[in-house]
Every structure is written in structure tokens, then in C-alpha cells.
Amino acid sequence: MAIIRPLKALRPTKELASKVASQPYDVLSSEEARNEAKDNAYSFLHITKSEIDLPAGTDPHSTQVYQKAKENLDLFQQLGTLFSEEKPCYYIYQLIMNNRTQTGLVSLSSIDDYENSIIKKHELTRPDKELDRITHIETTCAQTGNVFLAYKSNERLNKEIEDWKASHPAEYDFTTGDGVQHIVWVVNDDATNDRITMYFAETVATTYIADGHHRAASAAKVRQALGNHPTEQSNYFLTTLFPANQLRILEYNRVVKDLNGLSEEGFLRSLQHDFFVGKVESTFSPTQFHEFGMYLKGSWYELVARSGSYEEDPIGVLDVSILQNSVLDKILAIKDVRTDKRIDFVGGIRGLEELQKRVDSGEMKAAFNLHPVSMQQLIDIADSGNIMPPKSTWFEPKLRDGLFTHLI
């Protein structure tokens, strides 16, 4: 069963929470982070993307960047922008986007659970991205990134959370520039926290990483590096747990730089072996599995995978697998999407306009719009011990960095 603990979070004052809260470090480039934080001295990007406080062009993985992150984190504490909770608490974190609400529990999750697959994964991690977060954690002595976990809904736990929300005022309540409302309650009652801990220990057998595989892996490797002398706090990592039935996965779309030497007409002919291909009058977004939208040379096309053109196993039936096997690999010779420079990825939150823009600018040759993976597919694959293809899921809304930090 899942082990979770309350934490003494390092967090912003109520007055500064909306200014401190920042987009996750891994969804912004250094330039985007610099622009977002340029008029906000309180932005947590000064800690998670600290190259923004060094000369433009500074290597974001240089020693001075990690040292600047530590310097800024220390400064935020000295100035009182961030303070440490007096005793361990759970935190209820509610996000509202486009009239959809999801309510999570901020907690510490056990690294033992991660290593023993009680916390299940669905993606592989990249060593370079792990090393970045490992170095950041070791230098700052803090986990600044929140791992987004899902669990199968539990009525007792849901009631405990809803009762607390109904009877206590929110600590934070603000809306970010993307229109997402962030509301946080502090659960500072020991008896309530003990019940929550017990509910997980008794009724939640498994949790699932939705977003944050690199953050989780890095926290585990930092503990490993401590050898026989881990700190008590390094045995856990910062997480927010959401009921799976409240979550929504957006598509993770693809854009490619060339057609592997084919003309547009030749490429369209090649697609017809595994797909029904039809030109459409306007933008096309899939409404069901095995449908794809494609933007090529100023026009949108509907692609429908032909029966028998893909494997019927849990991985093979995923639309990201069908596109990879039947188009990217078979026709375009893009074998490894994690390393091939001819492909890029666009989160569904950016919309079809972003796909058109990338192609119309001449930067890319074609764009593919996919139907999202379902939460049940994610859970089934994680339970089977399999791994999804890279860049299969895009979760929205995203947790904001800076509202909670775990000092190790």
C-alpha cells in the first residue's frame, strides 16, 4: 500500500503566492523564462531557471547556474518571501480550468514505493534531464519540482478533503495568466492528517506518475548518492496526488522538418498503404482513436488507420504508436523521437494554430494532430509494466512551481 507523509513545506506568504508561483521549469526555454520573470523579482523561475539572472547565453547546466539557484533560494528565505511551515501538514491543491475542477493532495511520497513499483511509471527518462535535476537538488538541498501523481478514487479520502475545504478558508486563491484558478488549503490538524495517512496505507495500493518522471527519478538517485547516510527527508519526494477520474490528458502533437526526400504527392501516396486519406476544407481534430489530423502544404487532411495496419496489443493500439510505426519510422525514417532532430513536439494546449504556424513559417514540413491517450490506457500500461512511447501525454492544467518546496 502507498506510503505518504505530511510535510513542513517551504512556501510563499499569502500575499506573495501569486507572484512566486511560476510555470514548471521544464515547459519554458531559458528565453521564455527570462521574459516571464523580467518584471517579477518574486518569480520562482529565479530558482528553477536561475540562468535568467546570469548573462544571456550562459549554459543552463553550468555550475554557476546551480549555485545561483541556491543563492536565490537562500535569499527568498532571508527576505521572508518563503517560510517553512512550523509542523508537518498536508495541503489541498485545487485547480479550475475551463470550468473543470481537479483537487489534489500535496504530500511526501516514499522513494521506497517508487523503487518497489508501488508508484508506477509509464515513461523512460533521459540521463541528461535526470542529471540536471540531480545537480539542482544536491546544490540547493531542496526538491523544487512537484511530481504529479494519480490514484484510483477513494470515497473516504474524497470526503475527508471535501469536508476540510467546506469548513476552512483557503490559504491561497489566485488566477494565473492562462486563466487557471489555483486554490490551496492548509491541513494543519494532526488527527485529520493521521486519518489521511491511514487511508492511503489501508486502501490505496498503487499510485501512477502522470507528469514528473524525471523529478521522481532524480529524487531517488539523490538518495542513492547519499549511500548509507540518507537524511529522513531524502527518503521522500514532493508529490501532489489526484483522483484519476478528475484528470484530463491532452494530445501531444508532432511536427517534422522534412519528408525524407519525398514530394508532398509521393508522401500522400505512401500514407495510403496504412491509412484512409482525405483532404478536408478546414482544420481537423480527431474525435476518436485511430484518427489523425495532418497539416501539409497549407491544407488539412484526415487520416484513419486501416484495420490490420497496427498491432492489437496495449502499446500497439496507441495512436502515438501507430503514427510512429506507420509514418515516422516506416516512411520518414525517424527511428528514435527522443534524439532525432528532425522532429519536435507541441502540447495540445497550444492548439491547432501552433501546428499551422510551425508549418506555414517553413520551419516544419508537416504536422500531425493526435487523439489524446486516455487515463485508463495510461493505468493499464503502467499496471502491465510496459512503457509508453515518448511524448505520449500532456496534462493540463499544470501545477505551479514555488507554492511548495521540500527541503532535504
- Tell me what pLDDT residue 363 has: 96
Question: What is the mean predicted confidence (pLDDT) over 135-145?
Answer: 95
CATH architecture of 252-371: 2-Layer Sandwich (3.30)
Question: What is the mean predicted confidence (pLDDT) over 118-131?
Answer: 88
Q: Are 210 and 198 in contact (CB under 8 A)?
A: no
As given in the structure block, the three cell numbers for residue 262 are 519525398
What residue ranges do the domains of the chain occupy? Answer: 4-246+396-407, 252-371
- Tell me what pLDDT residue 18 has: 97
- 106's CB contacts (< 8 A; 6+ apart) are 7, 9, 90, 91, 92, 93, 146, 184, 238, 239, 240, 404
pLDDT at 148 over 80: yes
Q: Looking at per-residue confidence, does 120 or 153 come out higher?
A: 120
Instruction: Using alpha carbons, select from 264, 245, 341, 252 the residue that is nearest to residue 292.
Output: 252
Q: Are 306 and 374 in contact (CB under 8 A)?
A: no
E strand intervals along 89-243: 90-97, 100-110, 119-120, 142-143, 147-151, 172-175, 181-187, 207-211, 236-243
pLDDT at 230 over 80: no
Tell whether pTM > 0.85. yes
* Number of CB atoms found within 10 A of residue 293's CB: 22
- 330's CB contacts (< 8 A; 6+ apart) are 274
Percent of the chain with pLDDT over 90: 78
- 44's CB contacts (< 8 A; 6+ apart) are 20, 21, 22, 144, 401, 402
- Tell me what pLDDT residue 123 has: 84
DSSP state string for 308-320: TSS--STTTTSHH
Structure confidence by residue, pLDDT tens digits, 64-99? 999 999 999 999 999 999 999 999 999 999 999 999
Instruction: Using alpha carbons, select from 369, 354, 364 the residue that is nearest to residue 301.
Output: 369
Percent of the chain with pLDDT over 70: 100
pLDDT at 314 over 90: no
Burial, 70: exposed, middle or buried (Cβ in 10 Å; 0-12, 13-18, 19+)? Answer: middle
Structure confidence by residue, pLDDT tens digits, 325-352? 999 999 999 998 888 999 999 988 888 9
